[in-house]
Structure 1
């Protein structure tokens, strides 16, 4: 991600808007305002800032002059760019963005656990999985695992892109966590 895009995204509401567009597909400033509890003027302002950096785009031919529809651009977004991490401001922006994204993911996971799994009529239909594995890996094995998992996720995402509005499609989140645990067992 270039410095301009990183700066544009380094705002909690913009992360939230970008994430909603990524997860739930096209939205208007008004629908995003309802989802976030912000004013449509505020969401509209932040949408334009994201669009200026080509992180999102307006959908041509959809909506009206008063109601513009927005979607996430088809470009990959990576936060481990050496250029971004080379400066203190780039590191700070990356940290803010990642904290916002991961905070949203954790809230979504906890909501899933508390609402869906705890529901009296919950039945395991095989459409969700919370899996944790503890293994000992070399750095090369960790890199290989990350690469293999990324290929699978990228393949499925590419195959699903453009089919969001088809019947029986629902938004899902895919979360793959691979990281070395602290040697001292401290969870800080």
Structure 2
């Protein structure tokens, strides 16, 4: 069965290996999935992964939340091993947090668990990832004029319909991840003019709605 995955910075199937020395992704189990499956916790982890270490107050301002709420959910993330203290950034009583290295992935079979709590946690995680993709996509459209013409022309929004078996879809997903991995290397990242690029891969089974009968 194909795996669903989320790193909120990058997305890979469980067990996937990139072309760099990045840590292997952490495979969520039932307990850690429940610990992560809260919209604010996912957003906090996202923010730390994308922007680096921060305090609860800084994250609260960035996300429009109280520092009390962000502090509580950061402690919960730490309990489940998603974030940790970043003492080298602290000054006085300030507590800084950073994301634990490595991606996050989970087995798609968690979605089909009989336990409604586990299925609900998986749904929360998937919906928040989809919401983040939407925010990034609409943000790109809104800010497109701020990029040079060269960059504005190379952003891609495509959709293609294929007819595949489940096995062929799994093969397509694997090859797409391998292709993306082949573009990732420290040498390429340091090229002059390089920018951070977000790649969203969506490959979903779909049944067209039949035409209504008269």
Give the counterpart of 1:22 among 43, 49, 58.
Answer: 49
Structure 2 CA distance for aligned equivalents of residues 49 and 168 of structure 1: 39
User: How many residues align structurally?
Assistant: 179
User: Structure 1 residues 25, 61: CA separation in 2 closer, same or farther (over 3 Å shift)?
Assistant: closer
TM-score normalized with structure 1 length: 0.78
| Structure 1 residue matching 2:126: 3-state secondary structure | helix
> Which position in structure 2 is the counterpart of 1:123?
149
Please state if 1:178 is matched with 2:203. Answer: yes
5 Å-filtered alignment, 1:1-188, equals 1-82=28-109, 85-86=112-113, 87-116=115-144, 119=145, 123-125=149-151, 128-154=155-181, 159=185, 171-184=196-209
Structure 1 CA distance for aligned equivalents of residues 146 and 86 of structure 2: 41
User: Structure 1 residues 20, 120: CA separation in 2 closer, same or farther (over 3 Å shift)?
Assistant: closer
User: Structure 1 residues 65, 46: CA separation in 2 closer, same or farther (over 3 Å shift)?
Assistant: farther
User: Structure 1 residues 170, 20: CA separation in 2 closer, same or farther (over 3 Å shift)?
Assistant: farther
Deviation for aligned residue 1:132: 2.3
> Over aligned residue pairs, what C-alpha RMSD do you find?
2.9
Deviation for aligned residue 1:39: 1.6
Deviation for aligned residue 1:85: 4.2
Deviation for aligned residue 1:30: 1.9
RCO comparison, higher one (Cα < 8 Å, 6+): 2
Deviation for aligned residue 1:56: 1.6
Structure 2 CA distance for aligned equivalents of residues 37 and 120 of structure 1: 25
Deviation for aligned residue 1:76: 3.0
Per-residue deviation, residues 126-161 of structure 1 (Å, max 9, x unmatched): 66322322222232221111111223445656x46x
Q: Would the aligned equivalents of 1:26 and 1:69 in 2 still touch at CA under 8 Å?
A: yes
Structure 2: 5+ residue stretches without partners: 1-27
More displaced stretch, 74-83 vs 90-99: 74-83
User: Structure 1 residues 65, 174: CA separation in 2 closer, same or farther (over 3 Å shift)?
Assistant: farther
Q: Would the aligned equivalents of 1:19 and 1:101 in 2 still touch at CA under 8 Å?
A: no
Q: Would the aligned equivalents of 1:23 and 1:172 in 2 still touch at CA under 8 Å?
A: no
TM-score normalized with structure 2 length: 0.70
